Amino acid sequence: MIQTIVHVNEQGRIVIPAQFRQQLGLVPGSKLVARIDAGRLVLEKPEDVLKRLRATFNSPDSLVEELIKERRIEATNE
C-alpha cells in the first residue's frame, strides 16, 4: 500500500500525488466520486462505483425472492 500525507489549502483543495494519479490512470479532466465512509474520505472512479453497485444488486441472493419466500412462510403459518 502506498501512503502519503497531503495538505488541504485555503480553498479546501488537495493535490492527488502524481504517483497515485499514474497508478489509477487519472488524467486532467478525470472525474471521481467522493463519499464519506466511516469517517474516511473515499474517492472512486465512477466506473468502479458502478461495478460495486452491480455486484451488490446482482447478487445470487435476490432480495425480492427472499421477501416472497418470507411472506409465503408467514402465510403458511397463519
Q: Please provide the average confidence, as pLDDT, over all residues in the chain.
A: 89
Q: Read off the pLDDT of each residue in 2-19 and give the average, rounded to a whole number.
A: 95
**What are the extents of the domains in the chain?**
18-77
54-71 confidence digits (pLDDT tens): 887 776 666 777 788 888
Residue located via cell numbers 504517483: 19
Alpha carbon distances (Å) from 22 to 31, 45, 64, 66, 71? 14, 14, 42, 43, 51
